[in-house]
Amino acid sequence: MFHKAIIFSLGILTLAGCNAQKKTKTPDSVANTTGTKSSVQKEGVIYLNQGENKFLKEYDMNVTFKGISEDSRCPEGVNCIWAGVAVAQIEVMGTYTRPTVLLLASSDNAGRNYYMSQEFNGYTISMKEITPFPKSDGGVKALEGKYRVAFTIKKTEGSANPDATRK
């Protein structure tokens, strides 16, 4: 009889401990598992750190900043003939679509196939900023893993139904 009382007491304590753990978790602490500052959306601009993934509920879209495929921007403190360009790989996936990698550049140059905006699922995704700029002493290699992008997503004009482009 004494053993049953001890087992029953341990069971009650275990369940009470589980309930206490549920109450201490917050959505912010669960969502940010990368250990870096979470993405922020201000005035329609979405910020992502390199490697960060975010589901954007208002667009039914998952967005991942995969990395930088090219960064030929002129380093800070150096005089250059050409300002250069940085190209970010942004993987987007709609609720009913396969993942697609968009290459968004820091400036438009149709001759070199660089575009600041691309369309996906009835939305236009536009690059606003790629930071940080390369420095003359470390170059682009020193920035690997430290990049951050800022972009906007807007409904494409003339597209009344975003489902029309889904495959």
- At 139 the pLDDT is 62
Task: Give pLDDT, residue 105.
Answer: 94
Dist. CA 60–CA 41, nearest whole Å: 16
Tell me the mean pLDDT in the region 70-82. Answer: 84
Contacts with 63 (C-beta within 8 Å, 6 or more apart), sequence order: 46, 48, 53, 54, 55, 56, 90, 91, 92
Measure the N-to-C terminal CA separation of the chain; round to a whole number of Å. Answer: 65
What is the per-residue pLDDT across 104-142, written as a single tens digit (0 to 9) for each?
A: 999 998 888 899 999 999 999 999 998 888 877 766 666
The whole-number pLDDT of residue 127 equals 95
Residue 102 is predicted with a pLDDT of 94
Report field, pTM of the whole predicted structure over 0.85 = no
For residue 132, cis peptide bond before it (omega within 30 degrees of 0): yes
* Domain ranges, ordered by start, for the chain: 34-158
| Mean pLDDT over each residue of the chain, to the nearest integer | 77
C-alpha distances (whole Å) from 55 to each of 89, 110, 136, 137 are 17, 30, 36, 37
**Helical segments of 48-126, H only:** none
- Flag whether pLDDT at 1 surpasses 80: no
